[in-house]
Amino acid sequence: MKAIILAAGYATRLYPLTLNQPKALLPIAGKPIIDYIVDEIETIEAVDELIVISNEKFFPHFSEWSNARSSRLKITVLNDKTTDDSNKLGAVGDMQFAIETLGIDDEILVMAGDNIFTFKLKDFYDEYITKGADMILVKEIDEVEELRRMANVITDENGKVTDMEEKPQNPKSNIAAFASYIYKKDTVKMIKQYLDEGNNPDAPGFFPSWLHKRRDVYAYKFEGECYDIGTPKSYKEVDEIFSK
C-alpha cells in the first residue's frame, strides 16, 4: 500500500502564516502537522511508501522536511508544478498526477496534509481489511454550517455508503466525511476514468461521491477528534489544545 498526503494547496485563508510556509509544516505544540500524520501512517505495516504531493512554491520546504524525517517508509516528495490557485490540479487531479508519475499499481491511503486527529489510523485500516472494500472516514456532526463545508454521507445499517454529496447546501444527514480514504488497487484505476469524464478534480470528497454509485464504499465512524485547520483562529485553537 502507498500512502499519499495531499499538500499542494496554498492555504490562502491562513495568510500571513502560510505566505512562506506550507500549512502541513506549521507547528502544533512545536511539531509540524505532517509529522503527526506520518506517525500514524507508520503504524500500518502494509504501507511501504509515503508520497507527499506539493507545488512549485513549497516543494523545497517538503524536500528539506523529508531529508530530516527519520522513517521506516520510503518518502517521495512530488512537485505538481503548479504555482497558485489559478492553475492548481485539485486534490483528485493531484492523486492522478502521483499515480501516473510514479506508476502506482497498488492500494492507496489518501490523506489531507492539514488534518490533525486523535484516533488511531490503524483502526481505520483494520476496518478496510475487514470489509474488503473502499473506505471513507466519517463522524457524526450536529452543526449544520459545519456539515455544509464537508462531504455529507448516508449509510445503511452495515456502514455501506448509499448517498454522498460534497458541500451540500441542505445536508441530508448528520454524518460528515473527513479527508482520509483507502482505495483498493482496482479502484485506483478508476480515478482516471472519473477525471476523463470531466468530473470535478478539486475537493477529494467528489471522487467517492461518484464512486459509491459504481462499487461498494464503506464508511468508518471514528472515535476521537479530527481537526481541519483552515483559519488562523482554528490553528491557534488546535495548537492550544495539543499544547495542553
Q: Pairing relation of β-strands 151-155 and 74-79?
A: unpaired
What's the mean per-residue pLDDT of the chain?
Answer: 94
Q: What confidence score (pLDDT) does residue 244 get?
A: 87
What are the two backbone dihedrals, phi and then psi, of residue 102, each rounded to the nearest 5 degrees?
A: -100, 0
Residue 69: exposed, middle, or buried by beta-carbon count in 10 A (0-12, 13-18, 19+)?
middle
**CA angle at 40 for the pair 37 and 43, rounded to the nearest 5°:** 150
pLDDT tens digits, one per residue of 30-50: 999 999 999 999 999 999 999
| Ramachandran quadrant class, 11 (left: phi over 0; alpha: psi -120 to 50; beta: rest) | left
pLDDT of residue 92: 95
Can you list the domains of the chain with their CATH numbers? 2-243 (3.90.550.10)
pLDDT at 100 over 90: yes
| 178-212 residue pLDDT tens | 999 999 999 999 999 999 999 999 989 999 999 99
**173 confidence band (pLDDT: 50, 70, 90):** very high
Q: Does pTM surpass 0.85?
A: yes
**Can you tell me the distance from the alpha carbon of 94 to that of 80, in angstroms, rounded to the nearest whole number?**
7
CA distance 148 to 167: 5
Q: What is the DSSP letter of 24?
A: G
What is the per-residue pLDDT for 209? 94
Residue 29: the pLDDT is 95
pLDDT at 230: 83
More confident residue, 84 or 186: 186
- Phi (first) and psi of residue 93, to 5 degrees: -60, -40
Give me the pLDDT at residue 121, please. Answer: 94
Buried b (16+ CB within 10 A) or exposed e, 191-229: beebbeeeebbebbbbbbbbbbeeeebbbbebeeebbbb
Q: What is the pLDDT confidence band of residue 149, given thresholds at 50, 70 and 90?
A: confident
Predicted pLDDT of residue 229: 85
What is the rounded distance in angstroms from the CA atom of residue 93 to the CA atom of residue 88?
9
